[in-house]
Structure 1
């Protein structure tokens, strides 16, 4: 379908309904319609495997499913079967379910670097619990976050460091400092400057680039030397890097780690895991001051834990991590070839590990451009590809990848025209997409 013919009247009306009742029109800012070309933000009706349908009846090949959470594809039969089985047995009780023991045993077998685990419903709860625990065991108040990684939590200790810091006391913001990824000397300097003040280092162990040789082991040594807690945020790297996360792949054990996203294949479950000596401070079998670690009414819903166990089984038995990498490698190669063939290989760029690909849209000067991103997204949507990123799910097949590459080639042809014209505006048909974190609407 040609771009000028593509419209989403029912989605547009549904977005108006959403904004009338829900601040931002979505329950996650990254799903907001400001992240898409104006009036071209699909509202989803349903999904199956690697495809979703919008309320206008359009089918899309989908990437970045559920903000990277649906790595097996929508409505995966082994996951939904496990969920249905538990729902028929009740989902929440006044005492722990035996499913909680089963799920904990399964998780700790999958992530053997951890000794205890506690489940929650979202990643922010898990990372904030890690920060609270680190502060309690060290007696220190400051938190050091990796400033090169985009998101850790909705809670004050992190959001206060972003442009959307309204409502957060400056005194809270002052307790969070940052260190650069890959730079051990700078991190050592930070820990020395705030000697005996930093409770923890928290970072994604890997992101769009691989960790430099020895970097994670170096962080482990720095944390030990300076007496702070090392926390790996494995929300994205968990399962996509290996079943045991980046810590399992790179062989460096953090004190605490947090998992979510792929763990439930779209069902709400996250985990805080780590060394027994730390985790037990949130328990009942110690003589120290108690830590209110995690206490959630719905954290141990049986169906979500059943989903997590099924996900882990599928990953191991079907070699999902290897499949994600193979699909991502095929897609990355195809996109790069398509961009190069249309003369925009230096402007439409694919980055990241094959299982977690993102794309950059650069202007004539090689700078990131929201305008060119808008142009690119418009063409992808018109071609039936919903791709805020190129993060794959295992439900994709070769035909999906080939079709995506064809649509990318068509988008790159328009991209080249805009570069030649020196202005992408005629191809935007509205305001450009916007960054999630910005101070003003």
Structure 2
């Protein structure tokens, strides 16, 4: 493929893509610069080459690309005008469905991306508590593009120092790190923000048998009047139909959803307890107002129609049980092939089966971007795109077999690199982390 697409992208889009995870520096040099379309579990480049796609649009597609039922629902509401001057019927239906679906939610506000949803939850927490500080989990990679989060990463350029100082960090599965923050800043922390799970299930509770770290967080927040914000952008509609909060038996004060909730259409949500959500309302006479979310396209009818159709499809087709089953088989397959090819010392697949992960380590057990790049490069040669692992309902036995063939060939090259190094095997530069201070 011509390099002209990459140059054209960089010429008109900062970074060449609208999400840094899609950037050229996240992929090996033989990855397609640009894609044209997708269907089911596959994407296609402009030359017509097909790739089994384990990226699934940054996890936003859960059923499959261009799913007919979902597309038909979106098209229906586009035909109804798509965006109206007053609330639409599908807006009400989607809101009532979401409130019915998620146990902790009494009210919901829709928006178009996860960043604005999580930032809205932070704003509500500050308004409710009168406090300024935010405690966010350092082990979870991304909550928002807004200053309160980015300022606490290693890319703080452009963020005022007072804003940077307002966000503090704690560690997942280490409740004492959150306790230490609360002890250091008593009566100053407005909210705790974390995901329910990423690479593994939450560990056991320190205090109560049969419970988890998440229950400890919940208790600590309640004890100190801190708003418990659970980010379910990834876990929502993947761990369980009612969210990871239902799977783990917790009840956050506020929660945020997005990604797979509308099978690739732009829908995200912030929801939670009525007393918090109503701070952003207008009907309570004399109440000081919180300007919560005001998005022209937040209630776009096509996206909300897609959400309703996606959720109904999940209920009717056992989509989430399929994630767990396929993911469990995939983890086993990857580790078995790694053992067979002699690369198990540098490769590991694991995680929660509905959302697996893989990683490469070097001889010192540090994360190896070189081996990961080589692996992805060889997978692309076999028609498999695996920058990470996101599953969809349209992945089945054929896709497992294609994956096994590709992985076997890729691991043979990894085994070779273990002896000789990656020099001469990599066709281009090593992929870089998204969060880095310098390009």
Q: Assess same fold via TM > 0.5.
A: yes
Matched with 1:4 is none
Q: How does 1:198-237 map to 2 (within 5 A)?
A: 198-213=189-204, 214-237=212-235
* 2:121 is equivalent to residue 122 of structure 1: no
Gaps of 5+ in 1: 1-8
SS in 1 for 2:51: strand
Q: How does 1:133-282 map to 2 (within 5 A)?
A: 133-213=124-204, 214-282=212-280
Superposition deviation, residue 64 in structure 1: 2.2
Matched with 1:351 is 350
SS in 2 for 1:237: coil
Contact 2:74 2:306 in 1 (8 A): yes
Matched with 2:318 is 319
Contact 2:52 2:385 in 1 (8 A): yes
* 1:201-255 C-alpha deviation (Å, 9 max, x unpaired): 0000111010112211111110011111000000000011001111111110000
* 1:282-319 C-alpha deviation (Å, 9 max, x unpaired): 00233431111110000000110000001110111111
Superposition deviation, residue 342 in structure 1: 0.4
Query: How far, CA to CA, are the matches of 1:115 and 1:388 in structure 2?
Result: 37
More deviation, 62-71/281-290: 281-290
* 2:29 is equivalent to residue 34 of structure 1: no
Superposition deviation, residue 39 in structure 1: 5.0
Matched with 2:85 is 94
* 1:80-134 C-alpha deviation (Å, 9 max, x unpaired): 0111111111111111111111111111111122111010000001000000000
SS in 2 for 1:18: helix
* 1:390-419 C-alpha deviation (Å, 9 max, x unpaired): 221111111111110111111111111110
Superposition deviation, residue 420 in structure 1: 1.3
SS in 2 for 1:60: strand
* 2:424 is equivalent to residue 433 of structure 1: no
SS in 1 for 2:358: strand
Contact 1:164 1:437 in 2 (8 A): yes
Matched with 2:411 is 412
Query: How far, CA to CA, are the matches of 1:277 and 1:291 in structure 2?
Result: 13
Equivalent in 103, 113, 122 of residue 94 of structure 2: 103
Matched with 2:365 is 366
* 2:73 is equivalent to residue 85 of structure 1: no
More deviation, 424-433/246-255: 424-433
More deviation, 162-171/20-29: 162-171
Query: How far, CA to CA, are the matches of 2:176 and 2:105 in structure 1?
Result: 28
Q: How does 1:63-82 map to 2 (within 5 A)?
A: 63-82=54-73
Contact 2:236 2:257 in 1 (8 A): yes
More deviation, 160-169/45-54: 160-169
Superposition deviation, residue 40 in structure 1: 3.0
SS in 1 for 2:390: coil
Any runs of at least 4 consecutive aligned residues in structure 1 with deviations exceeding 6 A, and if so which?
Answer: none
Superposition deviation, residue 152 in structure 1: 0.3
SS in 1 for 2:230: strand
SS in 1 for 2:236: helix
Q: How does 1:39-54 map to 2 (within 5 A)?
A: 39-54=30-45
Query: How far, CA to CA, are the matches of 2:88 and 2:281 in structure 1?
Result: 17
Query: How far, CA to CA, are the matches of 2:55 and 2:30 in structure 1?
Result: 21
More deviation, 69-78/208-217: 208-217
* 1:161-212 C-alpha deviation (Å, 9 max, x unpaired): 1222111111110000011101112211211110000000000011101011
* 1:345-401 C-alpha deviation (Å, 9 max, x unpaired): 121211321111121011122221111111101100001001111221111111111
Matched with 2:207 is none
Q: What's the TM-score, normalizing by structure 1?
A: 0.96
Matched with 2:208 is none
Matched with 1:283 is 281
Superposition deviation, residue 13 in structure 1: 2.1
Query: How far, CA to CA, are the matches of 1:289 and 1:69 in structure 2?
Result: 36
Superposition deviation, residue 46 in structure 1: 0.6
Q: How many residues are paired up? A: 431
Contact 1:33 1:41 in 2 (8 A): no
Query: How far, CA to CA, are the matches of 1:248 and 1:93 in structure 2?
Result: 34
The Cα RMSD (Å) is 1.0
Q: What's the TM-score, normalizing by structure 2?
A: 0.96
